[in-house]
Amino acid sequence: MADTLAFDSIANLASQFRQGALSPVGVTEALFRRIDALDPKLHAFIALTRERALAQARAAESALQTGHDLGPLHGIPYAAKDLYDVAGLPTTAGTHLLADNVARADCAAVRRLSAAGMVLLGKTHTVQFAFGGVGINHDHGTPHNPWQRVAHAPGGSSSGSGVAVAAGLAPMALGTDTGGSVRIPAALCGIVGLKTTVGRISRAGVYPLSFMLDSVGPLTRTVEDAALVYEALRGVDFDDDATVGVPPHEVMSDLRRGVKGIRIAFAETVFFDDVDPEVEKAVRQAGHVLAGLGALVESMTVPEVAVAMAEQKRALMVAAESLVVNGRWLDEHRDALDPIVAGRMASGRTLTATDFIAVSRQWADLRRRVVRTLSDVDALLVPTTMIPARPISAIDQSPESYGEHNLKYLRNTSLGNVLNFCGVSVPCGVSADGLPIGLMIYAKPFDEAMALRVAWAYEQATDWHTRRPDISWAA
């Protein structure tokens, strides 16, 4: 499969389908050939759905040929993180302990994408129980960041999804984001990742980590592609009560409006502390680009960020929630779990019920306060991660090294989850070692339209999203 086709955007593939230059069946078959050739070394997929994919591709091709067009996603292949229920396949959540956890039905997100005519190629690897920002999995194996021949962190926990899109194995892959699990792999793999506000997209049928913080989002090659997938996924689902009462809001009509007159700020509180100089330089330069497009770019402090960062029980909140789902595995099969994941989960038992309630109330208060703080600001600019990808060997040499790197990948993203921001990570540079750097554009809760609008304007003014890894070593 030619690299030009492998790295094509959803929008371009859709256009070529309708012109007759390409067909859903042809693209699906070509992607499977590419997966067969490259994935033994990249390790993005845990399972492939060949029969289902080819049946969906044939149905899409026939429908388009007869004038039955379901929209811009019709016939487009994609992958889903192995937290998403897919009928007939196990949802393993990154552990062999769930090998028999076979889904009886597709989850809500997969159903909606099927209704839009998309073609499911398979399921991608994740960190065990989705509990980690580095992307390492000692059970099923760690996906290989395609930007380096030597194994580097792919970012977690949507590690396989990030690698699949970055390596041209799928034009889109679904991830989940509890503390950064869409945006971190997007940043480390040089692609786009959309973190949606909790309540925008149903999580029904998605293996949970945190009921308060889990969100669904796509990893794509372009901002437009992320917006197209978001449009198909958003909406009320009574199987996820977080979505009930959230008014519908589409994003495509504002996507290309530009940023002239929009107020954008570098969020100086915490987010830039101890950031790698190459990362900071690239992110600051992105602000100059947006200012050149007519945005009003300034700097500001955000006191609520410092308060959220100072709360020492933040990590324990997610750990405690994870125990509700995974506590029995910890009690009965701890030796079979990744020791770092097991230790992080077990820490949740130190959180008292009163502490849980107190921190929950603090988060609710911070979310109200930060909206007031940002009342005159449309979007914030921060580094997605403090550092680019680092070698797996260096990260995994000790629990202390893992913990240090995990913090550097999760800090800036997890604060956004606590404050209920939505956000987009887009490529904004490359380090001296040839590794991608991510810019995170935060917007206020439920303002995905603004986050995507700013991201699209930046993307159109730069060429970072067109850079591709040399993965000839994986062939």
Beta bridge partners of 49: none
Token digits of residue 1: 């499969």
Report which secondary-structure segment, H or E, holds 318. Answer: helix 314-333
Q: Is 322 one of the catalytic residues?
A: no
Q: Is 444 one of the catalytic residues?
A: no
Choose, from 9, 159, 181, 202, the residue flagged as catalytic.
181
Helix (H, G, I), strand (E, B) or coil at 295: coil
Instruction: Please state the φ and ψ torsions of residue 399, each to the nearest 5 degrees.
Output: -60, -35
Q: Would you give the DSSP letter of residue 332?
A: H
For residues 123 and 125, give the distance between their C-alpha atoms in angstroms, rounded to a whole number.
7
Token digits of residue 360: 């929950």
Helix (H, G, I), strand (E, B) or coil at 125: coil
Which is nearest to 48 in space by CA: 123, 117, 98, 114? 123
Q: Is 313 one of the catalytic residues?
A: no
Residues 349, 350, 352: CA angle, nearest 5 degrees: 95
Helix (H, G, I), strand (E, B) or coil at 436: strand
For residues 280 and 267, give the distance between their C-alpha atoms in angstroms, rounded to a whole number.
12
Token digits of residue 53: 């994919």
Peptide bond preceding 157 in cis form (omega within 30 of 0): yes
Residues 190, 182, 40: CA angle, nearest 5 degrees: 65
Choose, from 9, 23, 157, 210, the residue flagged as catalytic.
157
Q: Which amino acid is at 132?
A: G
286 Cβ contact partners less than 8 Å away, ≥ 6 residues apart: 381, 428, 439, 458, 462
- Alpha-carbon distances of 131 from 127, 156, 345, 359, 415, rounded to whole Å: 6, 8, 8, 20, 16
Choose, from 23, 81, 322, 414, the residue flagged as catalytic.
81
For residues 81 and 205, give the distance between their C-alpha atoms in angstroms, rounded to a whole number.
12
Q: In what order do the strands lie in the sheet with 263-267?
A: 45-48, 119-124, 77-81, 172-177, 215-220, 192-195, 422-430, 436-443, 379-383, 263-267, 296-300
For residues 259 and 64, give the distance between their C-alpha atoms in angstroms, rounded to a whole number.
36
Active site positions, annotated: 81, 157, 181
